[in-house]
Structure 1
Amino acid sequence: MPERRKILVVLKGYPRLSETFIAQELLGLEKAGFHLTLISMRRPTDTKRHPVHDEIKARVVYLPEYLHEEPLRVLKGLFAGFGKPGFRALMKRFLADLPRDMSRNRFRRLGQALVLAREWPDNGQWLHAHFIHTPASVTDYASILTGVPWTVSAHAKDIWTSPDWELNTKLGTARWAVTCTRSGWEHMRSLTGRPDAVHLSYHGLDLARFGRFEGQHSNRDGTDPSDPVLLLSVGRAVEKKGYDVLLRALALLPKSLNWRFEHIGGGDELARLKALAAELGLAGNIAWKGAMAQKEVLAHYRSADLFALACRIAANGDRDGLPNVLVEASSQRLMCLSTDVSGVPELLTNGENGLVVRPEDPMALAGALEAAIRDPALRRQLGDAAEKRVREHFDYHSSIKQLIRLFEEEWQQPS
């Protein structure tokens, strides 16, 4: 077995409640014997942590989030950069990128890369970025300056909101890239002359944390006003999650149908969604619960009757890959209703292990919601099939093994 090198993992922010799939991957690599140092471009804003974050032993180093806040670190990085063999190549690359992205962010990524290269924590021997947009920019620049090779895990928003020229450039310099949906994999392969360096790797679920639900979801069918069907959704209140579409679908349900809806998650659009719910006359049926820790979310999956997520492609091209919450809910035999966007059909097949409708279609969504609310036997059948698929095909140990193989195959080669 080749020696396992020390990896500096560059992240946009750490820890983040919405990125447990990254945290479980970091923990899996640590358990496999890899030495990690986490390089975070932002300090945490979440007030809660998942248990997995407390199990990760890696040291966390925070780069200057805004260059003007820590000018001394940035200046020291710049002066140290002058003496590095890769400085001229870095500036050539930066000046080629700048006309295509004349933004403060572009200068920020350069400054963060200079700081990282100067401070170089724990004698790192490899660079790995999570997300192919801004974290990969810092990582790529630091790699050019130091000569240390780099790799990248791409996910969803980072792929679809990055311009093709930038993806092409990064895929040309990274040793390899992994991504978690077939649609993202195919898109990135189409943009590079090295398609074999792009790998499909579903990040899956830590099934030890989402053990089998031995209880039963209820037989509620919407006919009893004192015992309404419980609908659940977990996700940030942002455009790509389609919560406005879901609210409009709920407003189309027959008035005789008894339901209540719980939303878990933060997000910038919460106030607008609450106002829309009031406008639609739904406020009395909805509980906005805010962000929750993983154990609390798990309890909600088990008590709910139906999970709904109306994924869509946002105006700026942003979209989900395969939302981890759909995998989590499915692991608890909770029937899921979603849309045929991006990686969702790679988990859910309409009528087989879930219900899948077109995005941006409140009428179709309302029809599927009504069918599921009225038919507990259908919910049970689809939920059982979804759990079977998750436990057979979405165990995160498979993705960890694939990453280990990719790293070790690379490290058998000369640096």
Structure 2
Amino acid sequence: MDRTGKIVVLLKGYPRLSETFIAQELLGLERAGFELEIVAMRRPTDKKRHPVHDEIRARVSYLPEYLHEEPLRVLRALRKTCLLPGFGKALSSFWKDLKRDFSRNRFRRFGQAAVLVAEWPQGGKWLHAHFIHTPASVARYASEISGIPWSISAHAKDIWTSEDWDLAEKLQSADWGVTCTRVGYEKLSSLSGGRDVMHLSYHGLDLERFPHFDGQRPRRDGSDPTDPLRVLSVGRAVKKKGYDVLLKAFAKLPANLHWQFTHIGGGDELGSLKALAGELGISDRIVWKGSMDQRDVLAHYRDSDLFALACRITADGDRDGLPNVLVEAASQRLMAVSTTVSGISELFVDGENALLVESEDAEALSITLQRVMTDPDLRERLGVAAEARVRKDFDHHNSIHDLDRLFTEAWERRGI
């Protein structure tokens, strides 16, 4: 395959601490010989960045996040793109979508698509969008305007909070798509209108960044008040992570069971979670670390006894796919207690390499936490099994191989 052509990768925001799996994929594609250019719809808001972002060579540019902030840029783009043969088709799609979704967001996506096409990176031959909600809307309109083919990586929230009609029409437009959980694959495949467009590929983990942990964890069992058992969770403080349920489960533990909980991550719910911890009388047992880079997170995996994440499906349908932090923790032989939501059961089997409970059940979660807190042998056995599963089936080289094949086949099919 001639790889002199460039893949333009459209992201909602870049770089983001919570999307290391995307950065890892971008670096993997570059190492596989692809030339990339990154276009993001939002500028970064995180104060820190992971080391992997500094290894990515791709040039980064930004679309206008809000059209009114750069009106001349948008008007110039519309004037330029309205002369293209595909503009009418894209405008027709936009009006059809607008009738079902009359929102500023819909106008914004069309304007961003016009800017993307008008300022199309030199040498770009393909457009690939991460997330099937707003980035894919921009990509679809841009593809129709320009005639440049496009593909999708779909993940979690973007699948489950989008309307079926919106998903179906994007799947009819895209050349191919990939998603990272079987449950997401089945959902999207059911909407593809019979097209064999979707492919399942787990993100996997760069195991060179998460090498085997040779250390021996202390056999803490929560009986020593001077050396409490260390429970860790990594994730944004948002509703779908279920941290309120986890705190309630902690509050139900016996008073003579000694533990400390460390949370790593930012998020809009941090304030309310800290208040809830105070109401439950467990604030003195919790450390809120905020956002940290990947190296510091790795150190915490190795220094902890147990990982916990109480994922849920929210009222608007939002949910995780397969949280990458569960894969990371497992790579360090750190046993996890989690829920059966979405793709988690595709990594973990209850009682074999983790313990899983139904979401929203603080009582069951508390009982399960107590069980593993007091049993270091169980934690070690399940942690060893979890690491073996990750190192066998969740190496990120597998997902890069899948993407390499999909891009190669598509480019050959289209004569690019």
Q: TM-score range by the shorter chain?
A: over 0.9
Residues 151-195 of structure 1 show CA distances to partners (whole Å, capped at 9, x for unaligned) of 000000000001000000000010000000000000000111244
- How far apart in 2 are the matches of 1:178 and 1:194? 16
Corresponding residue SS for 1:263: strand
Letter in 2 for 1:24: Q
Corresponding residue SS for 1:369: helix
Which residue pairs with 1:343 in the alignment? 343
Answering whether residue 309 of structure 2 is matched by residue 305 of structure 1, we say no
Residues 4-37 of structure 1 show CA distances to partners (whole Å, capped at 9, x for unaligned) of 5311100000000000000000000001111100
Which residue pairs with 2:63 in the alignment? 63
- How far apart in 1 are the matches of 2:160 and 2:4? 32
Which residue pairs with 2:407 in the alignment? 407
Which residue pairs with 1:23 in the alignment? 23
Shift in Å at residue 196 of structure 1? 1.8
Moved more, 149-158 or 81-90: 81-90
Which residue pairs with 2:360 in the alignment? 360
1:231-242 to structure 2, matched below 5 A, reads 231-242=231-242
- How far apart in 2 are the matches of 1:135 and 1:218? 46
Gaps of at least 5 residues in structure 2 are none
Which residue pairs with 1:282 in the alignment? 282
Corresponding residue SS for 2:122: helix
Number of corresponding residues: 415
Which residue pairs with 1:199 in the alignment? 199
Shift in Å at residue 230 of structure 1? 0.3
1:4-403 to structure 2, matched below 5 A, reads 5-403=5-403
Shift in Å at residue 233 of structure 1? 0.2
Residues 171 and 192 of structure 2 are in contact (CA less than 8 Å); yes or no, is this contact kept in structure 1? yes
- How far apart in 1 are the matches of 2:414 and 2:314? 43
Describe the shift of the 1:311–1:239 C-alpha distance in structure 2 as closer, same or farther (beyond 3 A).
Answer: same
Corresponding residue SS for 1:125: strand
Letter in 1 for 2:402: Q
- How far apart in 2 are the matches of 1:113 and 1:30? 25
- How far apart in 1 are the matches of 2:312 and 2:365? 12
Corresponding residue SS for 2:413: coil
TM-score by length of 2: 0.99
Shift in Å at residue 286 of structure 1? 0.2
Residues 4 and 408 of structure 1 are in contact (CA less than 8 Å); yes or no, is this contact kept in structure 2? no
Letter in 2 for 1:296: D
Residues 41 and 64 of structure 1 are in contact (CA less than 8 Å); yes or no, is this contact kept in structure 2? yes
Residues 321-375 of structure 1 show CA distances to partners (whole Å, capped at 9, x for unaligned) of 0000000000000000100000000011111000000000000100110001000
Identity of aligned residues (%): 65
Shift in Å at residue 82 of structure 1? 1.5
Gaps of at least 5 residues in structure 1 are none
Shift in Å at residue 123 of structure 1? 2.9
- How far apart in 1 are the matches of 2:3 and 2:112? 29
Corresponding residue SS for 1:25: helix
TM-score by length of 1: 0.99
Shift in Å at residue 3 of structure 1? 4.0
- How far apart in 2 are the matches of 1:195 and 1:232? 43
Residues 172 and 192 of structure 1 are in contact (CA less than 8 Å); yes or no, is this contact kept in structure 2? yes
Corresponding residue SS for 2:381: helix
Residues 2 and 408 of structure 1 are in contact (CA less than 8 Å); yes or no, is this contact kept in structure 2? no
For the aligned residue pairs, the C-alpha RMSD in angstroms reads 0.8
Corresponding residue SS for 1:289: strand
- How far apart in 1 are the matches of 2:260 and 2:195? 47
- How far apart in 2 are the matches of 1:4 and 1:82? 29
Corresponding residue SS for 2:42: coil
- How far apart in 2 are the matches of 1:4 and 1:337? 46
Moved more, 77-86 or 49-58: 77-86
Letter in 2 for 1:152: I
Shift in Å at residue 414 of structure 1? 2.7
Corresponding residue SS for 1:209: coil
Shift in Å at residue 218 of structure 1? 1.7
Shift in Å at residue 80 of structure 1? 0.7
Structure 1 ranges of 4+ moved more than 6 A: none
